[in-house]
A and B are shown apart, each in its own frame.
Chain A
Amino acid sequence: MDKIEQVLRQGLQKRLKNRVLEKGPDCPRDEELSLYMEKKLNKDRKEAIEKHLSDCSYCLDLVVVAQDALTTLKKTFDYKSLLLKQKWLILCLITFVLSFLFPRYFLQFLVATLILGIKWAVGPEGAKNLVMIFRSMHAHEEAQSKDSEFKVRR
């Protein structure tokens, strides 16, 4: 960290640390801050909030922590939706593993795997994956055939 950054950081700390746990009389309403975060304020109201935030650590803290919480929330949802998208593939793999763990029901599990596999393949995510696999196989075959033609000519 360079020295300039260090003095700036300290200068900002001096200005901001005084009011960590104290809401001032000129602090905006909770909703005004949330509307600022949602980008729903017009230019004047936005500038007024930014003017306030630039010197009030209480409100700036609220915005920063709220943003942090919302980012975490979004990430969890993304993770969940990814799992949900691939649910048939996951179930298919689980039944496949189970077929080996319970040899008595091997065939039943295998049939379940097959059904779930088909379900995955005809679903939008599976179809997309399959198209990509076939395309790359096709490209690979073409490349190979060109290669062999080249060798024959030589």
Chain B
Amino acid sequence: MSKELVERCIQKDEAAWSEFIKKFKHVVDLSIRKKLTHLKFNFNSEDVKDISQDVFSEIWNKNKLSLLEEKEKILSWLCIVAQNAAIDFIRSKAVINKRVVSSLDVEEGLDAFDAIASKALSPADQAENNELEVIVDEFLSSLKDQDRLILSLNLYYDKSHIEVSKILDISINTVSTIIRRSKENLKKILLEKGYKNY
């Protein structure tokens, strides 16, 4: 049914286009809200409305639907297009953009490497921290792409093992095993390098 509607929109059938907007407005708005919230951007319903209008007019004007390989399932595509539009919106507010990025940096960038070692860092401790940073980075680089992706989803995005398994289309056991094994391997490497407190 979706496919037929999309085909009619490609043929520039305006009635079909109204139906398309009515059918998918909710998912586009939802994606915009989620993205803006995710980026900790303060927004109101007017912002969402503006971005949503941009998304649909862009799709219509550039006939983006005609470029799609798969016309049956377009929900996830719409989610992604809507998010890109939300990012463009944030970028267009350049000053705020800078504020968003720097606020993210402040929150996440507090070095845990620092926090783990000690509160008042001597130069020797700082050097040790840098070394630890390098070891962890090398370890992450040495992992298989999918394993690193699993760790990112679990530890960076705080996704549960079930959610990770759904996103990557693999079994939950695989996810749990890889997370456990990666932690064990890193622990072993750190132990070899003389870091005993891990």
User: In the complex, what residue of chain B is closest to A47 when comparing beta carbons?
Assistant: B145
> Cβ of B109: which chain A residues have Cβ within 8 Å of it?
13, 17
Contact between A21 and B157 (Cβ–Cβ < 8 Å)?
no
Question: Contacting chain A: which of B12-20, B43-51, B63-71?
Answer: B63-71
Interface string of A65-92 (1 = CB under 8 A from B): 1111110110000000000000000000
Q: CA of A81 to CA of B149 in the docked complex: distance in angstroms?
A: 35
Cβ-neighbour of A64 out of B112, B133, B140, B153 (below 8 A): B153
Q: Does A153 contact B (CB under 8 A)?
A: no
B80 & A30 in contact (Cβ 8 Å cutoff): yes
Indicate whether B137 reaches chain A with its CB closer than 8 angstroms.
Answer: yes
- A31 is an interface residue with CB less than 8 A from chain B: yes
Q: Are A73 and B145 in contact, with the CB atoms below 8 A?
A: no
Could you say which of B2-10, B120-128, B179-187 contacts chain A?
B179-187
How close is B6's CB to chain A, nearest CB, in angstroms? 13
Whether B137 contacts A11 by the Cβ 8 Å rule is yes
Known: A7-B113, A50-B168, A69-B31. Contact between A34 and B145, CB under 8 A?
no
A107 sits at the interface (CB 8 A):
no
Taking the closest CB of chain B, its distance from the CB of A34, in whole angstroms, is 4
A13-B108, A15-B137, A39-B169 known; A65-B79 Cβ under 8 A: yes
Contact B182 A8 (CB under 8 A): yes
| Binary contact track B25-56/A, C-beta < 8 Å → 1, others 0 | 01100110011001100000000000000000
Q: Write the nearest CB–CB distance from A67 to chain B, whole angstroms.
A: 6
- For B, the interface residue count at a CB cutoff of 8 angstroms equals 65
Would B198 and A66 count as touching, CB distance under 8 A? no
What chain A residues lie within 8 Å of B1 (beta carbons)? none
The number of chain A residues with a CB under 8 A from chain B is: 47
A147 to B130, CA, bound (A): 76
Structural contact, A30 and B149, CB atoms closer than 8 A: no
Inside 8 A of A30's CB, which chain B residues have their CB? 77, 80-81, 84
* Identity of the chain A residue whose Cβ is nearest the Cβ of B38 in the assembled complex: A65
- CB < 8 Å: which of A12, A60, A68 contacts B140? A12
- Give the A-binding residues of B (Cβ under 8 A): 26-27, 30-31, 34-35, 38-39, 67-70, 73-77, 79-81, 83-84, 87, 90-91, 97, 100-101, 104-105, 108-109, 111-113, 116, 132-133, 136-137, 139-140, 145-146, 148-149, 151-153, 155-157, 159, 163, 166-169, 182-183, 186-187, 190, 197-198
Instruction: Name 14 interchain pairs, CB-CB below 8 A, sorted by A.
Output: A4-B183, A7-B136, A8-B186, A9-B155, A11-B136, A15-B140, A16-B156, A23-B84, A30-B80, A33-B80, A37-B167, A50-B145, A60-B149, A73-B27
Extra contacts besides A37-B167, A53-B145 (15): CB < 8 Å: A2-B183, A3-B197, A4-B198, A6-B116, A8-B136, A8-B182, A17-B104, A30-B77, A30-B84, A31-B77, A50-B146, A50-B168, A55-B148, A66-B80, A73-B27
